[in-house]
Amino acid sequence: MGERRREDGRADNGQGETAEGEAAASRFIERFAAQLVEGGMARMPARIFAALLSSERGDLTSAELGERLKISPAAVSGAVRYLAQVNMVSREREPGSRRERYRVQGDQWYSALTERDAMLRSWQATLQEGVSHFGLETPQGRRINDTLEFFQFLENELGSLMDRWAEHRAQHPGR
């Protein structure tokens, strides 16, 4: 990208960011992405999610992501596909263009956890079948039942937690 000068004389990348701002943003992206990776997310989706989260408007094109993260279009495509599947980003067409913009929503964690709720119910049904098959008198039946009870507890608590979060957001709009 071409470099411009701001009124204060500092270099500007054309998107309102100075070189210092770009370096700080890059450090944030890599640090947060590393933490997401430690939590189980794959590296490239984590980097793209952090880049979208830290972008001014919350959306970037594939080319912008590739330039910002110094990665290939194929890497962007695969990572965005994963992030869209788990409801952490959405795809939007630019009006009058074939280019897509990838957007992170303010409520992406809420949406992702809500989707997990359906998965928890599915796991519980399968675990219940396992308990019925093996029986509680067997070691495997007891282990499977412990897992089932954990997921039932998690589902109940997650529902309550999500309700409290929605109430909190309603009481504190715009924060």
| pLDDT, greater one: 174 or 119 | 119
pTM: 0.70
Domain range 4-103, CATH class: mainly alpha
Distance CA 65, CA 96 (A): 21
Alpha helices in 1-107 (DSSP H): 19-38, 43-54, 62-69, 73-85
Distance CA 75, CA 108 (A): 21
Distance CA 45, CA 32 (A): 12
Instruction: Tell me the per-residue pLDDT of 16-66, one tens digit each, with 9 for 90 and over.
Output: 568 888 899 999 999 999 999 999 999 999 999 999 999 998 999 999 999
Distance CA 103, CA 117 (A): 23
